[in-house]
A = this chain, B = another copy of it.
Amino acid sequence: MGPTNHRQLDFDPIAEARRQWQRRWPGADVMAAATSLIRAQQIVMSTVERALKPFDLTFARYEALVLLHFSRVGRLPLGKIGSRLQVHPTSVTNAIDRLEKQGFVNRKADPNDRRLTFAEITPAGRDVVERATRAIQPSAFGLGGLKSSELSQLQDLLLKLRLSAGDFSKPK
């Protein structure tokens, strides 16, 4: 997931691409913004994964653990995890398989609707989330270069983007 360790370039490859793109095609600005977004995500992702590695967690599994940790009773049906995290059902099955092997969650059947499978976080699971989260903090998710005002500006823009793309429907 994380991108690679590479010699640093001494120029902005995106600015360069934008220049070239502009010569032949429309939409150079959208392209540049999109590419920047992708790069930025790679930075964030690799920063977090580096911090999670000692705990043998990937970001996907960490996210699932956090979600369970936050849930009222420490358990959620797999389907709900998938829709919250926007991942494919089979990916959820896979992630939970892994977490179960690691002893961080258990599977439990729902007595009421026996089609459902709950994933329930274990004490060991709660423990790693806490420790992993502490390990992530100093890296600031790779966003340490932004001021607090810039962070919220960024969030606003991304929210607008997500809303327009139908990431979720208008709350209230």
User: A residues near B, CB below 8 A?
Assistant: 3-4, 6-13, 15, 17, 20-21, 25-27, 29-34, 36-45, 47-48, 66-67, 70, 82-88, 91, 133, 137, 140-146, 148, 150-155, 157-169, 171
Tell me whether B160 and A145 are in contact (CB under 8 A): yes
Q: How many angstroms between the C-alpha atoms of A133 and B33 in the bound complex? A: 16
Tell me whether A171 and B29 are in contact (CB under 8 A): no
Tell me whether B150 and A160 are in contact (CB under 8 A): yes
- 13 A-B residue pairs with Cβ-Cβ distance under 8 Å, sorted by A, are A4-B82, A4-B87, A4-B88, A8-B168, A11-B171, A17-B66, A25-B137, A30-B140, A33-B146, A36-B162, A144-B164, A145-B161, A154-B154
CB-nearest residue of chain B to A34: B141
Tell me whether B83 and A9 are in contact (CB under 8 A): yes
CB-nearest residue of chain B to A144: B164
Tell me whether B36 and A159 are in contact (CB under 8 A): yes
Count identical subunits in the complex: 2
- Report A36 CB to chain B, min CB distance, Å: 4
Inter-chain contacts of A150 with B (CB < 8 A) = 157, 160
Tell me whether A162 and B40 are in contact (CB under 8 A): yes
CB-nearest residue of chain B to A27: B137
Q: How many angstroms between the C-alpha atoms of A8 and B116 in the bound complex? A: 20
- Report A116 CB to chain B, min CB distance, Å: 16
CB-nearest residue of chain B to A9: B168
